[in-house]
Structure 1
Amino acid sequence: MKTLKGPSLHLAQFSGGEAPFDSLANVSQWAADKGFKALQIPAWDQRLFNVGQAAQSQTYCDEIKGTLAEHGLQISELTTHIYGQLVAVHPAYDAMWDAFTPDHLLGRPQARTEWAVEQIKLAARASARLGLSEMGTFSGSLAWPYLFPFPQRPEGLIDAAFNELAKRWRPILDACDEVGVNLCYEIHPAEDLHDGTSFERFHALVGEHPRCNILFDPSHFVLQQLDYLSYLDIYHERIRMFHVKDAEFNPTGRQGIYGGYSNWIDRAGRFRSVGDGQVDFKQIFSKLAQFDYQGWATLEWECCLKNQEVGAREGAAFINQHIIQVTDHVFDDFAGAPVSAQQINSMLGLSPTHLQGIA
């Protein structure tokens, strides 16, 4: 077994236009002061990172690593969630996702998808230059609007959606394989890959691609009322990234999983700072240690109540408290005694004559 690494911090919810969140150097100092050991960098945020330059220049990548090292940090992973979402956008969401699109691609969905695919391939090459083996993403969502439709879904609609999804992602997975990077899909509501069943469908359609893996975030399982501990038992061999994010689900007579179109603070299911929600992190960290998870434990802070500065400081301490330093010996070794093969046979009542008769 190997002790998992952490704490790392996902920067997507922290980067911004004002210090200390306006540059990689500034946020590195801030994160180190909070107790983090690594940063998970969103590849789409040019305030922090230039993915095109990183894909082409080892010097640039060394400078990025050097910036973090000055503050005692390293890069845990790159993430490509925005690009991944743009690989497969249902037309209902076109207008909203144009906000994340370069101006010259506005109103051009096919060109936008082609651009996003290339950005993920650049991020994979950048990951390799940075010495990283895992990269996070979203699957996109061609089928999500038809999750619970009326009238009912026509036969073949979901098959067609997933066939197209696999067709778009297979070349990206192949590109990741060429540079030795695992692509880890965050299992997330609003994505076509939102639970075990949907992941299995996709995984089969991409030929059980070895680079097709999972980013595990238990908060999204709470909101779906899905057994996240059993999920770890089933899919631990595919889980290569881990977001430490908390949530709670408190259904009432007025609302449940769907939330009644309420704001986050008024929903039955809502995200909380780690330790303030209902996720059983003791069991999660125990299972990850048992299954020899060798990646990072990365805080993703999202909370409808708590200040992000407090959430980050508490989150780093929380992860440190939950990481299990795995043992290098069996606890009852002290009571063991050497026993010969002859003694073992004797303990079982197996005489040499009896063994010859069996042979």
Structure 2
Amino acid sequence: MQLGFLTACLPDDDLAEIARWAVEQGFDALEVAGWPSPDPRNHIRVDRFDEAERDRVGRIFAETGLTLSSIAYYENNLHPHQGDQVNAHLRRCVDAAAALGCPTVGTFVGRDPGLPVRDNLERAAGVFKPLVAYAEDHGIELVIENCPMKSWHPDGYPGNLAYSPELWEWMFTLGLKLNYDPSHLVALGIDPVSAAMPYISEISHVQAKDTEILPEKINRFGFYGPISGEKGWYRFRVPGLGQIAWQQVIGALRDGGYDGVVSVEHEDPVWSGEPEKVRTGLGIAYRTLRHLVRG
């Protein structure tokens, strides 16, 4: 396995700068943000990907020796008004990944919040079958992160229909793969090791993020969280600062035959705000995971 991180946590930095820093710290890989402009999370300019952009990005990875593990574009592919635009950009991400020799593109299933889950699943089949076929024709796997995206639903219900093993099984029938992130399982009361073990052959990418449970908050709001805009009963942390047993998680992946990239997704509010704080958080994650990932 290799250890990397998702570049979205450093939106104001140039990809070349991020890559140089990653090598200096000992990282092996980068999962590179590919949102369209004006979103600053566009370290690969997928929306204007041409020969010059291909050469620029390819040169960065050739010179640093880093692995490009995935192009990241986590948006709502079932959005009732913007879904077509999201789907179109996802195809552009596939084109860029194929040109760069990158094996995966990461996204969300999403949801139309105005429809019940069963209707969304039917709609998703129609949306994703051609997307999966397009990716396969280009030698790319579409990987879905198991984040509930509760902020996408007006009542805080899951806005990304990929949050449980039951839904993973449904995704796999469409040809989608899993970008496994154990942090979201903890926040749903699911044991991340037990949940992952039957499906490791379907995991094509891994994101490493930790979860800290806040007891005083869950005692006030309960499992479903607050009805106001107040923060809920857990928060994401960099690996090593939450309650996930990373030795067990990485051990289960290794025992199941996973040998790909473990990519730190930095969403820790304590180690955010300034680029140096973000880098400190990435350093904490690196020291937590390096000996586990590399064996």
TM-score (ref. length: structure 1):
0.70
For the 8 Å contact 1:286–1:324, the answer to whether it is kept is no
2:285 counterpart (315, 320, 323): 315
For the 8 Å contact 1:251–1:257, the answer to whether it is kept is no
Output the amino acid matched with 2:46. V
Aligned to 1:162: 121
Looking at CA atoms only, which structure, 1 or 2, has the larger radius of gyration?
1
Instruction: Identify if the C-alpha distance between structure 1 residues 180 and 235 changes in structure 2 by more than 3 Å, giving closer, same or farther.
Output: same
**Separation in 2 of the partners of 1:26 and 1:116?**
28
Alignment of 1:257-296 (within 5 A): 257-260=223-226, 261=228, 263-264=230-231, 267-296=232-261
2:78 counterpart (85, 88, 91): 88
Output the amino acid matched with 1:137. T
For the 8 Å contact 1:256–1:269, the answer to whether it is kept is no
For the 8 Å contact 1:65–1:75, the answer to whether it is kept is no
Number of residues paired by the alignment?
Answer: 273
Instruction: Identify if the C-alpha distance between structure 1 residues 218 and 64 changes in structure 2 by more than 3 Å, giving closer, same or farther.
Output: same
Instruction: State yes or no: 1:227 paired with 2:201.
Output: no
Aligned to 1:77: 70
2:32 counterpart (30, 36, 41): 41
2:220 counterpart (237, 248, 254): 254
Output the amino acid matched with 2:279. E
TM-aligned CA deviation for residue 48 of structure 1: 1.9
Q: For each residue in 1:168-223, what CA deviation from the matched residue of structure 2 results, as whole angstroms up to 9, or x when unmatched? A: 111101101111111111111131221112233344xxxx234x110100111111
For the 8 Å contact 1:257–1:269, the answer to whether it is kept is no
Aligned to 1:177: 136
2:165 counterpart (180, 184, 196): 196
RMSD: 2.1
Instruction: Identify if the C-alpha distance between structure 1 residues 14 and 256 changes in structure 2 by more than 3 Å, giving closer, same or farther.
Output: farther
Q: Which runs of 5+ in 2 are unaligned?
A: 150-159, 272-276
Output the amino acid matched with 2:19. S
**Separation in 1 of the partners of 2:290 and 2:117?**
42
TM-aligned CA deviation for residue 262 of structure 1: 5.7
**Separation in 2 of the partners of 1:256 and 1:324?**
39
1:8 counterpart (4, 16, 30): 4
For the 8 Å contact 1:11–1:42, the answer to whether it is kept is yes
TM-score (ref. length: structure 2):
0.85
**Separation in 1 of the partners of 2:268 and 2:63?**
30
Q: For each residue in 1:98-124, what CA deviation from the matched residue of structure 2 results, as whole angstroms up to 9, or x when unmatched? A: xxxxxxxxxxx2xx3222212111111
TM-aligned CA deviation for residue 281 of structure 1: 0.6
Q: Which runs of 5+ in 1 are unaligned?
A: 91-108, 147-156, 326-359
Query: Which has the larger displacement, 279-288 or 160-169?
Result: 160-169
**Separation in 2 of the partners of 1:26 and 1:233?**
37
**Separation in 2 of the partners of 1:256 and 1:271?**
18
For the 8 Å contact 1:34–1:312, the answer to whether it is kept is no
**Separation in 1 of the partners of 2:21 and 2:264?**
15
Alignment of 1:49-60 (within 5 A): 49-54=44-49, 57=51, 60=53
Misfit runs of 4+, over 6 Å: none
2:208 counterpart (236, 244, 249): 244
TM-aligned CA deviation for residue 315 of structure 1: 1.6
Aligned residues with identical type, % of pairs: 23
Match of 1:241, SS?
A: strand
Instruction: State yes or no: 1:64 paired with 2:60.
Output: no
Alignment of 1:103-114 (within 5 A): 109=81, 112-114=82-84
